[in-house]
Structure 1
Amino acid sequence: MPIIPFSALACPLDGDPMHREGQTWRCAAGHSYDIARQGYTHLLPVQHKRSRDPGDSKGMVAARQRFLNAGHYQPVAEAVAGAVLAKGSTSTTLHCLDAGCGEGYYLRQLAQADSDVSLSLLGLDISKWAVLAAAKQERGATRQEEEGRASWVVASNANLPVQDGSLDCVLCLFGFPAYPEFVRVLKPGGVLIQADVGPDHLRELREIIYPSLKPERERPALAPDGLIPLEVETIRYVLTLEEPQAVADLLAMTPHLYRASAEGRAKAEALTSLSVTIDVRLRRLERLA
């Protein structure tokens, strides 16, 4: 699948379009941002941080990387890729942002999908550890020139460093949607693809670590301003984990690691295998013209 360089970055300080000069991005006002040797760009100004080291920790990123690279969420990745590519055609380039990309698994799967659609891909996360892992994995997995890879940036969904109306697709996968920003960066007719957990997601794990089970909350059915709902796809299957490390990684990559009591975490840590229900809702919403 052809991958075209992403060129629609905007300055995180003034919102002006940026252009690339060698290994640096610059705006007309003279603000400049270097591309790190690992292949990512830091576009999160200190005034936009809520903590010194926001987002997922290095340990959480490593757990998610091991778990996802083992293929446990492959059906979800295939559904996401299918939803994105349904928007594309062979005559144009599809510009896509993964807002909250983590360690880049879903963009890598999209780039490897069997399709003739040209893609221009940007992965964005507030966690520097996640973006670093995404950039390093892609460089290790391909010998393509830099122009044939996704772009990776450290930034916030609340202040996307992306030009207005420049994207065909935004992914928000198990993350924190910033709908006004998504509407701003999408073209009219562009699509937001949002993955959220269903009520039975990881039910068996939750039954072990919590004294009483509260159902996972589903997103409201109403569409945010500027978007109209299209369809909702349910991805549901039973996942069997046969290694203690996989069970530990599943817990470590979810909010349940922090929500569970010490007793609940101890019960999970004692597991040597586990069968859990994967229950995901994949929503498509279209930007109004």
Structure 2
Amino acid sequence: MIQPFDQLICPLDKQPLQLNERTWCCENGHSYDLAKQGYVNLLPVQNKRSKDPGDSKAMVQARRKYLEEGHYLPLARALADIVLEQGDQTLLDAGCGEGYYLRYLVEQAERKGTELSVAALDISKWAVQAAAKQDKRLSWIVASNNAIPLADNSVDTILCVFGFPVEAEFKRVLKPGGRLIMVDPASEHLIELKRIIYPELKAKSEQLPVSEASWKLCSEERVSFPVNLPDTEAVHDLLTMTPHLYRASKEGRERAESLQSLALTADAWVRVFSLTA
């Protein structure tokens, strides 16, 4: 059974939130309405670094289209297999984007008969809106990893897929014995695109994404597979959905946009961490 996660806390005073019809409320009178798409915004204005933080609407639309064409399906499969090895669990997707990997994971959990209680957050309201429209059963939240609006020691598994870990918050919300599962680009990820858009490539650091003093690496799997983009539109979607759109020079972007097709390598690390004692 798939169900929403309900141990949410107020972003202003950290008190537990209770859902009353379509409004989350704390005992101090702060209230947060569910949007019509089915998500709640728990990102206070004072915690925003910009007027519209996170991925733009155009980035979200491009990513959704690209991922729904199945280009990264092998990665979604590998991630779901690792998560569901544990069986029934409470789960936080910390940086869910438009929800592709989580939706696939939930589908596989249903097929296996695994019970999940799921919360998913992203700082981009456009990403959360798009995700919430696809599956109303989950707790979709506009929020930041810097201030996760979940209760202490409340989740078994945290997913951080191509995201930004905030170790102190991850430690706070994980249950004793909980897991952090991270997906990060490996050295050959999209290397063919990078060679086109950048005049020179810097060697990618191979260090772990979290502190070895606080986290124990339990397992790691390198997931690499070819991706063939058949047309200019698919190349445009890939470029739009990644930070390379802003990092590349105008000339580099123009070279990529002129391509009629592109053969790529997808290359990612899937790592499982536990907290050190």
> Could you say whether these structures have the same fold, taking a TM-score greater than 0.5 normalized by the shorter chain as the test?
yes
Relative distance call for 1:219 and 1:248 in structure 2 (3 A) is farther
SS at match of 1:62: helix
Q: Is the 8 A contact 1:165 1:185 kept in 2?
A: yes
Match of 1:143 in 2: none
Runs ≥4 residues deviating over 4 A = none
Normalization by structure 1: what TM-score? 0.92
Task: Give the CA RMSD over aligned residues.
Answer: 1.4
Q: Is the 8 A contact 1:188 1:288 kept in 2?
A: no
AA paired with 1:153?
I
CA distance in 2, matches of 1:219, 1:33: 40
AA paired with 2:263?
S
Post-superposition Cα deviations, 1:172-220, rounded to whole Å, max 9, x if no partner, equal 1101110110010000111000010001100001111111122333343
AA paired with 1:23?
R
Relative distance call for 1:84 and 1:36 in structure 2 (3 A) is same
Match of 2:115 in 1: 118
Match of 2:260 in 1: 272
CA distance in 1, matches of 2:209, 2:50: 32
- The correspondence for 1:100, drawn from 79, 82, 95, is 95
User: Following superposition of structure 1 onto structure 2, how do residues 199-218 of structure 1 map, counting pairs within 5 Å?
Assistant: 199-218=187-206
Gaps of 5+ in 1: 139-145
Match of 1:59 in 2: 58
CA offset at residue 288 of structure 1?
Answer: 4.3
AA paired with 1:132?
Q
CA offset at residue 5 of structure 1?
Answer: 2.4
2:224 equivalent to 1:229: no
2:167 equivalent to 1:179: yes
CA offset at residue 36 of structure 1?
Answer: 0.7
Relative distance call for 1:221 and 1:25 in structure 2 (3 A) is closer
CA distance in 1, matches of 2:36, 2:164: 29
SS at match of 1:50: coil
CA distance in 2, matches of 1:220, 1:9: 30
Normalization by structure 2: what TM-score? 0.96
SS at match of 1:15: coil
Identity %: 53
CA distance in 1, matches of 2:138, 2:159: 14
Gaps of 5+ in 2: none
Instruction: State the number of aligned residues.
Output: 275
Q: Is the 8 A contact 2:213 2:276 kept in 1?
A: no
- The correspondence for 2:134, drawn from 118, 137, 160, is 137
